[in-house]
Amino acid sequence: MNAYRLMTVAAAMSLWLAVPAAGAPKGGCASDDPAIAIPACTTAINRIAVTPGSQATAYLQRGRAYYRQKQYGLAINDLGASIRHNDKSYLAYVFRGLSYAELGDHNAAIDDYDKAIAIKPGSAEVYFYRANSRSEQDDIENAIVDYSRAVDLDPRMGPAFANRGNLQQRLGRHDKAVADYTKAIALKQGVSLVYSNRANSYVNLKRYDLAMADFDKAIAADGGNFNAYNNRANLHYAKGEIDEAIADVSKAIALNPGMAEFHSGRCALYLAKGALREALADCDTAIAARRDYAEAYLNRGLAHWRLEEREAGLSDMEMAFSINPNLPNVQRYVTLFRASKAVQQAEAGKKDAPASSQKAAAEGSRRVALVIGNSRYAAVSQLPNPRRDADLVAAALRTAGVQDVTVAYDLGRAGLVEALRSFSAKADAADWAILYYAGHGMELMGQNYLIPVDARLQSDRDVPDETVSLQRVLSALSGARRLKLVLLDACRNNPFAAQMTMTAATRSVGRGLSRVEPSGATLVVYSAKEGTVAEDGDSQHSAFAEAFARRVVEPGLEINKVFRFVTSDVMSRTANRQEPFVYGSLPPEDFIFTSAQNPPSSATSAP
């Protein structure tokens, strides 16, 4: 979201620029046209018989004219001369303070505003000006006090409400910010910008429908408000509406094509959509405009990696890390990309090894995985995280030594069934078979279902026809000789429940997924225990995906301990609101993803 902006002095308080000073000399010196006022005032100042009072006023009027011409240095000189002739001149202090503020000298500006307040303590405008300068100095609380004083003196001062709302927003007091923006809007002050800022506060309050309505109003009031388009794009993205988000950020780019942030944002959106070449083009543009843009390098690195351009992907990710090592997830991606590359190199070496070495490797543990991220749902709000979660988990599994990892995105029912059918053949020849699914899932009458992206689910009768049951998933893994592992990051709020017609009074759709009792060396792991829902949160990844990707690559951890750590990590991140749960049991042998004797390269250390 874009940073707040103060209402400018010119936009807010043009009144004083048009008010002649009391006692101004008659004629051109009092004109509001600087081209007339400046020479007339110069003549008045140079007049031999001028009285001290008149000379003070002439300097004030010429200083005011220079201020209007944005010649702030000349304005300060004349206003200082006026003050020397009359140190009780309220307007001279005000205009000199405004001139100092325009030049960025807010200490001097505040000093002049203090003197103006001492002369005329009931003036709302000067409190407003002082609040602006205090805000520019990040003296936020005192700025709020001054804006409050201004609106107490003049309840019609819309800019003071708008700017106080901006500061409340900066401090995270979004309810107070909304109240101030609402007052400013009622006073018809800066309507497009204030609507946009109020929408930002609504987003932080998670009142998304109100936020969307305000972004719409901001754009209706000013079709050139590129920040409103960009911020509305962010909201569409948060709701999983990728195409709508791309359309909005494209409008922002058309209005302001040189904004690197907009191109980087659209790169991330194309990445979420799977339009990888388009993503690369936008990230290239963002990086050309800003060579130190860490987020753009990260997004471009992900695009290269998904295109199997591994060298370019790792290079971009390392560049992102070198620019900003604290960028969310960048260290993890660097670690996983490096380790995955090492695993690939090792696999390539095995292919060139002597026949005896190849036979020995073939006798080891064969592990296969299917990773699915369903984000782009057709009938309900889209999910921003599953595609990213799938990438993260797939990279972690490769790092942990899984030899064959298949990644699929946004599968409809036919695609999901085909993916399971293909994976069944691999599982039949494997020791370990692992399936990770991120997307929507549901429970109906005690049975669990994965929801493909093309599901409509208008009735409970549609569930068997439009979804894939958990039992079908388990059957796909059943041929694995030693371990069957299903990870379901699908315990979200089910958006289909509200729209489904229930054909029998005894049927019901439950929260989350229902308990399962798998058998035969099988574990089913839910991101949240039965009957509860998981949080997508504000991160780029779900809490469960992040925790699993972190723990599965730790050398020497037995699988049960991996999931004890995952449960602890998720509960800690969600303040105990979400508890993953493991169902099923394993034989007494140890199941270890990553050997302690031979961990993958860079798997556990910072790059």
Whether pLDDT at 346 is above 70: no
Q: Is the predicted pLDDT of residue 510 greater than 60, yes or no?
A: no
Helix extents (H) in 86-187: 90-102, 106-119, 124-136, 140-153, 158-170, 174-186
Q: Which of 11-15, 59-63, 602-606 has the lowest mean pLDDT?
A: 602-606
| pLDDT value of position 25 | 42
Q: How many CB atoms lie within 10 A of CB 353?
A: 13
Name the more confident of 368 and 336. 368
- The residue among 328, 233, 313 whose CA lies nearest residue 541 is 328
Q: What pLDDT score does 306 carry?
A: 79
CATH class entry, domain 331-585: alpha beta
Residues 529-556 have pLDDT tens digits of 887 777 665 567 889 999 999 899 888 8
Cα-flanking dihedrals φ and ψ of residue 407, to 5°? -115, 135
Mean pLDDT of the residues in the chain = 84
pLDDT confidence of residue 363: 39
What is the rounded distance in angstroms from the CA atom of residue 435 to the CA atom of residue 369? 6
* Phi, psi at 84, each rounded to 5°: -65, -35
Q: Which residues of 239-261 are buried (b: 16+ CB within 10 A; e: fewer)?
A: bbbbebbbebbbbbbebeeebbb
Q: Is the domain 258-327 a CATH 3.90.1720.10 member? A: no
- Going by pLDDT thresholds of 50, 70 and 90, the confidence category of residue 360 is very low
CATH number for domain 9-236, candidates 1.25.40.10, 1.10.10.10, 3.40.50.2000, 3.40.190.290: 1.25.40.10
Instruction: Report the amino acid identity of residue 583.
Output: Y
Cβ(366)–Cβ(431) below 8 Å? yes
Q: Band of the pLDDT at 509, cuts 50, 70, 90?
A: low
User: What is the pLDDT at residue 287?
Assistant: 95
Q: What is the pLDDT of residues 116-128, one digit of tens each?
A: 999 999 999 999 9
Q: Residue 510: helix, strand or coil by DSSP? A: strand
Amino acid 150 reads A
Contact 508, 543 (CB under 8 A): no
pLDDT tens digit sequence for 559-571: 999 999 999 999 9
Q: Contact at 8 Å (CB) between 13 and 23?
A: no
Cα gap 148→164, rounded to integer Å: 8
Give the residue, 519 or 286, on which the prediction is more confident. 286
> What are the domain boundaries of the chain?
9-236, 258-327, 331-585
What pLDDT does residue 427 have?
87
9-236 and 258-327 agree in CATH topology: yes
DSSP character for 371?
E
Closest CA to 117 of 131, 103, 104: 131
Mean pLDDT of 462-485: 88
Q: What angle do CA 168, 170, 172 make, to 5 degrees?
A: 70
Residue 292 sits at the vertex; the CA angle it makes with 291 and 293, to the nearest 5 degrees, is 95
Q: What is the mean pLDDT of residues 147-164?
A: 94
pLDDT band at residue 235 using 50, 70 and 90 as cut-offs = confident
- The tens digit of pLDDT for each residue in 20-46 reads 444 444 458 888 889 899 999 998 888
Q: What is the pLDDT of residue 459?
A: 85
Band of the pLDDT at 446, cuts 50, 70, 90? confident
First and final C-alpha spacing in the chain: 31
- The predicted pLDDT at position 397 comes to 93
> What's the pLDDT tens digit per position in 370-389?
999 999 998 887 888 899 99
Q: Residue 48: pLDDT above 70?
A: no
Q: What is the pLDDT of residue 606?
A: 28
Q: Which residues have a Cβ under 8 Å from the Cβ of 91 and sit 6 or more positions away?
A: 16, 21, 60, 64
Which pLDDT does position 295 carry in this prediction? Answer: 93
Q: Can you tell me which residue has the tokens 């990770």?
A: 436
Q: Report percent pLDDT > 70 for the chain.
A: 85
| More confident: 352 or 132 | 132
Contacts of 256 (CB under 8 A, 6+ apart): 226, 262
Yes or no: say if 296 and 266 are a contact pair by the CB < 8 Å rule: no
For residue 17, pLDDT over 50 is answered with no
Per-residue pLDDT, averaged over 278-291, amounts to: 94
More confident residue, 213 or 360: 213
pLDDT at 575 over 50: yes
What pLDDT score does 18 carry?
38
pLDDT at 421 over 50: yes
Q: What is the pLDDT of residue 133?
A: 95
